[in-house]
Amino acid sequence: MAEEAIKISGKKKSTFLDKVRELLPEGGNLNLCLTCGACSSGCPATGLEGLDPRKFLRMAALGLDEEIQKSNWPWMCTMCWRCIYVCPMKIDIPQLVYHARKLWPRENRPKGIRGSCDMALKHDSCSAMGASEDDFRFVVEDVLEEVRKTQVGWETLEAPINKKGATYFLNQNSREPVTEPDEMVPLWKIMHVVGADWTYGTKGWGAENYCMFLADDEAWKHIVEVKAKAVDDLGCKYWVNTE
């Protein structure tokens, strides 16, 4: 339960819900809620900050825009879609949450998410840990050389970088090259065993996209475009995201 009762003052002044409805296909069905509560029963974020998906949607429907803007709850919803899955009306609550995140001034959004997005914008690597194109190449080549030297039977293991025309463009979560590079090797071995024609790209290798979680549309778009271009420039057929 919320600490204080929420007072509904006079006439509906809402624009938030209407704005979000305009943006979504079928208005995200946001006006179709039956208040059945299925979403709240099934949502793991129910109870955090005294809220749940149904309450959050009701707040929007009642025009409590200010309360929505002040709530931390949108940062606790993981946008997992379980509520949509169980909702008889297929109401898009995660999109409502996403737009509630956008109500926060960028500089007030959670520092960790913002920092990760900003890091990713620094290089075309798109790494949320700020590892550059050269950093990545260095780590991959270093780890590969070690495996070839020390592991019997893997003298010809490959971890291709920027290989034109490869079928699969593989990306990698930054945590592997940056904090636990040996964890990349099993993946290379699997690709080798199945005979996959694959490559990393120095550009766009970072798998994560915190700009999306930050609800920074422009930055999100930029990251996706850099990655897509990297795949296209190498002429790869498939973009394999390990996230």
- Between the alpha carbon of residue 230 and those of residues 72, 117, 119, 123, 168, the distances in Å are 36, 19, 18, 13, 12
Kindly state whether residue 72 participates in binding other proteins, applying the rule CB under 8 A: yes
Binding-site partner at residue 214 among ligand SF4, other proteins, none, CB < 5 to 8 Å by type: other proteins
In the stretch 16-55, what mask flags binding to other proteins with x, by CB under 8 A?
A: ----------------------------xx-xxx------
C-beta atoms surrounding 125 within 10 Å: 29
Q: In the range 17-76, which residues lie near ligand SF4 by CB under 6 A?
A: 33-39, 43-45, 53-54, 57
What is d(CA 90, CA 81) in angstroms, rounded to the nearest whole number?
10
Kindly state whether residue 76 participates in binding other proteins, applying the rule CB under 8 A: yes
Binding-site partner at residue 93 among other proteins, ligand SF4, none, CB < 5 to 8 Å by type: ligand SF4
Binding-site partner at residue 8 among other proteins, ligand SF4, none, CB < 5 to 8 Å by type: none
CA dihedral 224, 225, 226, 231 (to 10 degrees): 90
Joined together, the tokens standing for residue 217 give: 């549309």
Contact 71, 63 (CB under 8 A): no
Binding region for ligand SF4 (CB under 6 A): 33-39, 43-45, 53-54, 57, 77-83, 87-89, 91, 93-94, 97
